[in-house]
Amino acid sequence: MWILREKVNDILLILLFSSFLLILFTLPEINSYSFNEYIIGISIIFLLSLFILSKYGFKLWSITMIFFLIFSLIRDNMILLAPSLIFLCFPFYWESQKGKKYTKVLSEYGLYFKNKFSLLIYGIVGFFGIVFLVVLIGLVFYLFGLNDQQNVKEVVKSLPLISIPLAIILAPLAEEIFFRGFLYKKIGIWISAVIFALLHFSYGSIVEIAVAFAIALFLTYLFIKTKSLWPSIIAHSLFNLFALGVMWLL
């Protein structure tokens, strides 16, 4: 079991570093940075690869670089997947380094299927709670003439089709594990909610940031209430499905 755990740790590290390297490599292209800023990005990647080489050895460095190159070849799709991989892998690797077994982490996050029906009901109720919050916040901003959610719609419609299953399945799972299961316990409900909200800055919408902050608080409360991440994951997934449907159809 100890050998198996070490292998899993290596896999988590490889996915973490290769995904992080891909994000660093792609940022200049996404944000249309100048050549000098691009060189800075490449330099950071080089220094990080040296860190991997010195701390974890040539074998893990080599496999990480192979994964990074593969990810780079399919980066148009992979850049959507990379953040979720980081959110998904990091908590388990961090907790394992603190001496916790993966089974213990799964138990603390409430990721075992106990009381399946009640968790499903909480998730559905949570979805309607999110919809209520979104409508309420949208209405408040609309009354003050600050409704800029058209920006979100434009960004969503520009995304490739692969982003749909990622947004409905992987992103809710990864984000709930990282933000509600892991980060909330480390830095508290308010700061973790702020960080979650700021990650939505790229949509170019003040309303989106406010909505994301409120949703983060609500989903954390749902996790505290049920002692399981499944209701939060279900509610998050259903809302993403609902939001994508609304934006694509209207």
pLDDT along the chain (250 residues), means of 10: 67 90 75 64 84 89 90 81 90 87 87 84 94 90 76 71 85 94 92 91 80 94 93 95 80
On whether residue 206 sits in a domain, the answer given is yes
On whether residue 186 sits in a domain, the answer given is yes
Q: What is the DSSP letter of 203?
A: G
Question: CB neighbours of 182 closer than 8 A, spacing ≥ 6?
Answer: 90, 91, 94, 95, 109
Helices (H) and strands (E) in the chain, counts: 12, 0
Inter-axis angle of helices 116-143 and 206-226, nearest 10: 150
**Residues 125 and 239 placed together within one structural domain of the fold:** yes
On whether residue 92 sits in a domain, the answer given is no
Tally of structural domains, the chain: 2
Quote the domain boundaries for residue 59. 2-80
What the block records as the tokens of 142 is 């609309």
Of the candidates 85, 107, 100, which has an alpha carbon nearest to the alpha carbon of residue 181? 107
**Residues 239 and 183 placed together within one structural domain of the fold:** yes
Distance CA 21, CA 25 (A): 6
What pLDDT sits at residue 48? 87
**Residues 29 and 74 placed together within one structural domain of the fold:** yes
What the block records as the tokens of 53 is 């080489």
On whether residue 99 sits in a domain, the answer given is no
**Residues 32 and 126 placed together within one structural domain of the fold:** no
Amino acid at 39: I
On whether residue 108 sits in a domain, the answer given is no
Q: Are 200 and 84 in contact (CB under 8 A)?
A: no
On whether residue 102 sits in a domain, the answer given is no
On whether residue 16 sits in a domain, the answer given is yes
Q: Is 145 exposed, middle or buried (0-12, 13-18, 19+ CB in 10 A)?
A: exposed
**Residues 122 and 55 placed together within one structural domain of the fold:** no
Quote the pTM value.
0.86
Look at residues 80, 104, 136 and tell me which one is the last residue of a structural domain. 80
On whether residue 56 sits in a domain, the answer given is yes
